[in-house]
């Protein structure tokens, strides 16, 4: 897929600040004309769409966004409605709230709304996801796994995501819920993809060159399994604790950048020199 040169994917680890400085949500607002552009809050992930939608609508309104709508699709039939498709077509930001990521893919996957989302993403609409809305951004997503446990294959369930970011598995509420083990299990089963764990009140912005930048108050953890020399991942050993050799990990904080294509972090000086 094509990315807006400024980076039109903003992926949040959940529990972003909504009452204090609101740095991440302010960054979302800075990407649009707050007087004219449409910010579309998509509540498909949650079973409480009115409550969640109203909360985010109030926050973005307080930040100065004038044109805010809620896309409330609770079943696949809603994804065929002309008025809902038109909302997606008109949006400059589409914001996926938290909830259950499998609800998002099972309800909108393959529908006219999803097809329209692909089109508007290609033309530069900003896609933002928090919590479950973050996990669903990748082409493979974790839908269930044990928190604060050693990695085991049999405790992890994965499914296709929306595919806005390729060759990655994204996990959220990362340090706060002790999800290192389950992301490591995901990378062990799919060593060709990067595992990206995002803390709460932390986000990554992904641009057209495949470079991500970290914003927010926490950390982002990159697990790279491309150089694994051994693992016991197999059906035969699915109940055992996973063993893997030579998994690479990077820890990034605010301002750090990472190239998702070359799988390497960027130093600040190098970025400035390349920009000259």
Residues serving a catalytic function are 131, 173, 200
Q: Which residues contact 145 (CB under 8 A, 6 or more apart)?
A: 155, 156, 157, 179, 181, 182, 185, 186
Give percent helix, percent strand, percent coil of the chain, each to the nearest 5.
30, 30, 40
Are the beta carbons of 137 and 113 closer than 8 angstroms?
A: no
Burial label for 15, CB within 10 Å (0-12, 13-18, 19+), is middle
Q: Rounded to an integer, what distance in angstroms lies between the CA atom of residue 34 and that of residue 271? A: 30
Q: Rounded to an integer, what distance in angstroms lies between the CA atom of residue 135 and that of residue 67? A: 27
Q: Rounded to an integer, what distance in angstroms lies between the CA atom of residue 190 and that of residue 223? A: 11
Q: Cα–Cα–Cα angle for 141, 144, 148, nearest 5°?
A: 110
Residue 202: phi and psi, rounded to 5, are -145, 150
Q: Rounded to an integer, what distance in angstroms lies between the CA atom of residue 261 and that of residue 105? A: 25
| Residues paired with residue 140 on neighbouring β-strands, in sequence order | 160
Q: Rounded to an integer, what distance in angstroms lies between the CA atom of residue 1 and that of residue 56? A: 28
Question: Hey, how many other C-beta atoms are within 10 angstroms of the C-beta on 54?
Answer: 14
Tokens of 90: 């008109």
């Amino acid at each position: 897929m094509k990315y807006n040169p400024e980076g039109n994917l903003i992926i949040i680890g959940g529990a972003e600040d909504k009452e204090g400085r609101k740095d991440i949500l302010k960054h979302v607002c800075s990407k649009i004309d707050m007087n004219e552009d449409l910010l579309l809050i998509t509540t498909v992930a949650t079973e409480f769409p009115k409550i969640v939608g109203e909360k985010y609508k109030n926050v973005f309104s307080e930040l100065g966004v004038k044109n805010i709508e809620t896309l409330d699709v609770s079943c696949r039939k809603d994804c065929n409605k002309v008025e809902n498709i038109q909302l997606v077509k008109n949006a400059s930001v589409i914001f996926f709230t938290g909830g259950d990521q499998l609800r998002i893919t099972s309800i909108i996957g393959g529908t006219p709304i999803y097809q329209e989302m692909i089109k508007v993403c290609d033309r530069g609409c900003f896609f933002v996801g928090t919590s479950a809305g973050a996990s669903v951004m990748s082409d493979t997503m974790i839908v269930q796994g044990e928190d604060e446990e050693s990695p085991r294959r049999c405790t992890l369930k994965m499914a296709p995501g929306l595919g806005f970011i390729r060759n990655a598995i994204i996990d959220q509420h990362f340090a706060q819920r002790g999800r290192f083990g389950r992301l490591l299990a995901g990378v062990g089963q799919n060593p060709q993809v990067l595992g990206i764990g995002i803390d709460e009140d932390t986000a990554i912005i992904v641009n057209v060159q495949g470079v991500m930048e970290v914003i927010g108050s926490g950390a982002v953890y990159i697990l790279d399994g491309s150089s694994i020399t051994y693992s016991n991942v197999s059906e035969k050993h699915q109940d055992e604790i996973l063993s893997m050799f030579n998994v690479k990990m990077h820890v990034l904080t605010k301002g750090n950048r990472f190239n998702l294509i070359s799988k390497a972090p960027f130093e600040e000086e190098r970025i400035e020199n390349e920009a000259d």
